[in-house]
Amino acid sequence: MAQPLTTIGAKPAPEETQSCWSCGSMRAAHFCEACGKVQPPAPVDYFAFFGLPRKLNIDVAVLDKDFYELSRKLHPDLNARAGSQEQQWSLQQSSMLNDAHRTLKDPVRRTQYLLKLEGVALEEQSKSATEQARASGQAKKQIVPPDLLEEVFELNMTLEELRAQKKIGEDDPALIEEVGRHKIELEEKYDGLLRELQANWKTWDALIDRGQAGETISDNEYRQALDKMVDVLNRRNYIRNLVRDVNEALEN
């Protein structure tokens, strides 16, 4: 479980900027508790913005609650009568809040974001990357996950057959049914990978906890935990693309 986070407002700001620019009181990270003024944004990552450690198991209900509480302080609508500098800070803080909330509330985006923070590049499997590779004539790196090799081979054969039939205007119900079966299987695998990802979070979070407790964790250990998540996400992307191909073949 994530650290319970009920008093985000009370979290101290970084050392050098602990007093409010306006009233001089001790302030919270994003706004002053004494006078309510929005503070200049600090260059922090999304986890730090919410006062969270870089752990992946997050209580989304708590995150949402903090999001709404902070929105009531930072949103431009509530700072519309402030000076232009404050309005600018409110806009920046509020967009950061929304970006951070959007990223952290979604399990996959949250994981991708952590990987990015830790300097790991994910293999681009998005549709735009595919289109881009196709348009520029580059072959796109597509590693078929080993446990899917057989199924992908079979599926591609079936899809080819289906496309060929559609081309001459025929519909083979048996073939469509077979493709549909593959689709259901793939979607089950896709959902299963989310659970696998969540299991990997535990490994990562445990390393963070041990590190915080003062234990020395080798880079290798961190790296392994990250690599496992990269592997799951890549397989997940791969399956998502397959499902997209299947849908396209069924629709056309």
Query: What residues line the site for other proteins (CB under 8 A)?
Result: 68, 71-72, 75-78, 80-81, 91, 94-96, 98-99, 101-102, 127-128, 131-136
Shortest CB 224 distance to other proteins, Å: 28
Pick the closer one to other proteins by CB: 86 or 151.
Answer: 86
Exposed, middle or buried: residue 251 (CB in 10 Å: 0-12, 13-18, 19+)? exposed
Pick the closer one to other proteins by CB: 134 or 202.
Answer: 134
- Which amino acid is present at 61? A
Residues 38, 17: Cα–Cα separation, whole Å: 13
Pick the closer one to other proteins by CB: 12 or 40.
Answer: 40
Residues 229, 202: Cα–Cα separation, whole Å: 11
Shortest CB 196 distance to other proteins, Å: 22
Pick the closer one to other proteins by CB: 1 or 139.
Answer: 139
Pick the closer one to other proteins by CB: 81 or 167.
Answer: 81
Q: 7-15, long-range: CB within 8 Å, 24+ apart, which pairs?
A: 8/50, 8/51, 8/66, 8/69, 8/70, 9/33, 9/69, 9/70, 9/73, 11/51, 13/39, 13/42, 14/42
Shortest CB 124 distance to other proteins, Å: 10
